[in-house]
């Protein structure tokens, strides 16, 4: 039997990537044109996989590509070091790294070393120990943010830079970073940028009229994949791997998973694994619900712990949100039906649930971030 055709919990490969042709083509064109694109997406929608897929395609066209996850750094200087390292490594032979770094970063005295990686190979590392004061860090930031333009000019090649989880710059004194970065990138005509973020409210605020990135470039808002397209993709992947899907299986997976790409792939992946373990050649709706029950049992202790951390008001609000499918949770009818407190109290509970990353705002509705937790709340709480 073939390998599992569904991928979750990691960057999805091209073969397992569902739909997004319009988004892929648009982002690729914009980056090739040197645009500065803001990609805004709720969590679990496949943002990082989309960006990675586009960068792979551009690399095949000879574009220098760089990807850095801002949220992976624990400090501003740490981010600048990670960013500089990624830029300097872009298609650079190992033997030229020291000279290349020295040529491009003369004024900030970088410390370059090659460390032993877990695989046994050496790994290029760069640090800026002299960046101590705010003035030093500002000068360093200006040098690092100018690097993409210098590299593109020196190599005579276009470059595409992806800064993922970009909203995390707010924790590094984001205001000054936005000003410095906007000033640097606006004149880099040979470099396309995608500033991608998975906290829509924070990303949207960066684009308001009083912020540096106001009208800096096109904005892409990643929406859910069309349900019918996603269902057809799932059933095609099942059939192509030797497991015949019962009619309507794809649509049922999409519905149970809330049409959130990560959750859809997870449920399909786990169902496929169950069918392989059982030696089955057909996957039915009953099999899907058996897989869902198994997952709820396995995740039960973790969900119970998350539930216990909530206040009583938050628990009541969360349960009402699930049972009402996120609609009109603040209305008098819903509050009366679920014995909730006043609208201001419910609003406060919703804010706490959003902050805890359990709930997100989806247009006029509030939805659960994790579809499994949604099912657990519906089945296990009162």
pLDDT at 12: 62
Confidence of residue 117 (pLDDT cuts 50, 70, 90): low
> CA–CA separation, 190 vs 351, rounded Å?
42
Average pLDDT over residues 336-344: 94
Confidence of residue 16 (pLDDT cuts 50, 70, 90): low
CB 260 within 8 A of CB 224: yes
The string of pLDDT tens digits covering residues 268-292 is: 999 999 999 999 999 999 999 999 9
The residues pairing with 191 across neighbouring beta strands, listed in sequence order, are 159
> CA–CA separation, 311 vs 351, rounded Å?
13
CB 72 within 8 A of CB 82: yes
CB 211 within 8 A of CB 205: yes
pLDDT at 14: 58
Flag whether pLDDT at 10 surpasses 70.
Answer: no
- Return the higher-pLDDT residue of 381 and 7: 381
Query: Does the domain spanning 227-380 belong to CATH 1.10.10.10?
Result: yes
Q: Is the dihedral of CA 320, 325, 326, 330 positive or negative?
A: negative
Query: Does the domain spanning 20-221 belong to CATH 3.90.1150.10?
Result: no
CB 63 within 8 A of CB 157: yes
Name the token pair of 231. Answer: 């269902």
Return the SS3 of 246: coil
Share of the chain above pLDDT 90, in %: 67
Average pLDDT over residues 134-143: 90
Name which of 168-172, 309-313, 360-364 the model is least confident about: 360-364
Scanning 41-158, the segments in alpha helix (DSSP H) are: 47-60, 76-89, 97-104, 134-155
pLDDT at 335: 95
pLDDT at 315: 97
pLDDT at 121: 65
Average pLDDT over residues 37-62: 92
**Phi, psi at residue 158, to the nearest 5°?**
-75, 155
CB 245 within 8 A of CB 238: yes
Q: How many degrees, rounded to 5, is the angle at CA 110 between CA 101 and CA 140?
A: 100
Confidence of residue 119 (pLDDT cuts 50, 70, 90): low
pLDDT at 251: 97
Name the token pair of 201. Answer: 């409210």
The string of pLDDT tens digits covering residues 346-359 is: 999 999 999 898 99
Name the token pair of 170. Answer: 């707010």
Cα atoms in the Cβ-side hemisphere of radius 13 Å centred on 158: 20
> CA–CA separation, 51 vs 48, rounded Å?
5
Average pLDDT over residues 173-197: 89
Nearest in space to 6 (alpha carbons), one of 239, 249, 252, 234: 234
Flag whether pLDDT at 250 surpasses 60.
Answer: yes
Q: Render the burial of 215-249: b for 16+ CB within 10 Å, e for the rest.
A: ebbeebebebbeeeebbebbbebbeebebebbeeb
> CA–CA separation, 39 vs 51, rounded Å?
9
Average pLDDT over residues 194-206: 88
Average pLDDT over residues 371-379: 96
The string of pLDDT tens digits covering residues 202-246 is: 888 888 998 988 898 999 998 888 999 999 999 999 999 999 999
pLDDT at 376: 97
Return the SS3 of 131: coil
Return the SS3 of 104: helix
Confidence of residue 105 (pLDDT cuts 50, 70, 90): confident
- Return the higher-pLDDT residue of 176 and 126: 126
Spans of all domains in the chain: 20-221, 227-380
CB 65 within 8 A of CB 160: yes
Flag whether pLDDT at 60 surpasses 70.
Answer: yes
Does this model's pTM top 0.75?
A: yes
- Return the higher-pLDDT residue of 224 and 118: 224
Confidence of residue 306 (pLDDT cuts 50, 70, 90): very high
> CA–CA separation, 281 vs 272, rounded Å?
10
Confidence of residue 11 (pLDDT cuts 50, 70, 90): low
DSSP per-residue codes, 209-238? TTSTTTTSS-EEE--PPPHHHHHHHHHHHH
Compute the chain's Rg from CA coordinates: 24
Domains 20-221 and 227-380 fall in the same CATH topology: no
Flag whether pLDDT at 106 surpasses 90.
Answer: no
CB 238 within 8 A of CB 249: yes
- Return the higher-pLDDT residue of 147 and 102: 147
């Amino acid at each position: 039997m073939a390998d599992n055709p569904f991928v979750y919990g990691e960057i999805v490969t091209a073969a397992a990537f569902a739909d997004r042709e319009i988004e892929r083509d648009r982002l690729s064109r914009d980056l090739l044109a040197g645009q500065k694109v803001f990609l805004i997406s709720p969590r679990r929608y496949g943002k990082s996989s989309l960006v990675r897929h586009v960068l792979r395609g551009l690399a095949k066209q000879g574009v220098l590509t760089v990807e850095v996850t801002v949220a992976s750094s624990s400090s501003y200087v740490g981010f600048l070091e990670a960013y500089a390292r990624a830029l300097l490594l872009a298609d650079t032979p190992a033997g030229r790294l020291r000279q290349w770094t020295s040529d491009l970063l003369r004024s900030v005295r970088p410390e370059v070393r090659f460390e032993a990686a877990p695989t046994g190979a050496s790994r290029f590392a760069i640090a800026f120990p002299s960046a101590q004061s705010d003035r030093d860090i500002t000068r360093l930031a200006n040098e690092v943010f100018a690097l993409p333009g210098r590299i593109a000019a020196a190599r005579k090649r276009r470059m595409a830079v992806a800064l993922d989880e970009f909203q995390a710059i707010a924790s590094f004194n984001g205001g000054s970073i936005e000003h410095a970065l906007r000033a640097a990138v606006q004149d880099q005509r040979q470099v396309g940028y995608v500033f991608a973020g998975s906290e829509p409210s924070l990303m949207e605020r960066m684009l308001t009229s009083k912020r540096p990135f106001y009208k800096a470039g096109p904005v892409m808002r990643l929406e859910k994949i069309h349900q019918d397209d996603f269902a057809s993709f799932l059933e095609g992947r099942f059939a192509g791997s030797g497991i015949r899907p019962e009619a309507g299986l794809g649509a049922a997976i999409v519905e149970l998973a809330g049409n959130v790409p990560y959750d859809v792939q997870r449920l399909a992946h786990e169902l496929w694994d169950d069918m392989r373990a059982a030696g089955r050649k057909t996957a039915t709706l009953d099999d899907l619900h058996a897989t869902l029950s198994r997952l709820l049992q396995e995740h039960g202790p973790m969900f119970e712990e998350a539930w216990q951390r909530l206040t009583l008001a938050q628990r009541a609000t969360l349960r009402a949100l699930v049972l009402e499918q996120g609609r009109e949770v603040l209305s008098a009818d819903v509050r009366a039906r679920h014995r909730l407190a006043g609208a201001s109290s419910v609003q406060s509970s919703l804010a706490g649930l959003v902050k805890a990353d359990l709930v997100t705002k989806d247009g006029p509705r509030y939805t659960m971030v994790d579809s499994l937790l949604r099912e657990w709340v519906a089945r296990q709480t009162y």
